[in-house]
Chain A
Amino acid sequence: MGELGVEHFLSLSAALFIIGMMGVLIRRNILIIFMCVELMLTAANISLIAFGWQMHSLDGQVFVLFTIAIAAAEAAVGLAIILALSRRVHTVDVAEIHELRD
């Protein structure tokens, strides 16, 4: 417990990931679910950097850079889908959305 080790960062990452996962499981607002997915992505980023920090390697940080770029593209597409969905079916409640066609 005395030294700041990789276990501390991994525990934080696990906690954030599980909070995000439970948010995805129990909430019904699609925007909240989207935020929880971002939370889980960030938790994975913390793990990658922590392992790189432990092994004295920069590859983990480069991976995180790519992850953030892909997350930005995912956010743009995902939010556009939410916008189109709210315009078409007039709800953002995932329990109400159960049809692929009109």
Chain B
Amino acid sequence: METLIAILIGILFAGGVYCLLQRSLVRLVIGIMLIGQGANLLTFAASGLTRKHTAIIKSGETILQAPHADPLPQALVLTAIVIGFGFTAFCLALLHRTYKTLGHDDLEKFNTTDTDK
């Protein structure tokens, strides 16, 4: 299971970086989203992936017995997903505004702030 998830994380990161290197603004946002999901999945996998055991303390015991998945990274990943959601919304708004103002979405032409004009 871990191996499968690890490969999936790798694919998400690779796909995201590939999109980031494209010239279109939309793919830039998609790239950020993909890498973000990769990082979220990585955080989730940090809890250890076990099936059939819930992270609930059984009656009569005082601490959680192994094996179980650690619930903390799952809480963390929820936070990260929400933050990522906000950023994606902002990115889309920025993309829309940029496209309307500049009239194109070609990143190659985004060099006016780098040159002295």
Our verdict on whether A and B bind, yes or no, reads: no
Q: What residues of chain A have their CB less than 8 Å away from a CB belonging to chain B?
A: none
Q: What residues of chain B have their CB less than 8 Å away from a CB belonging to chain A?
A: none
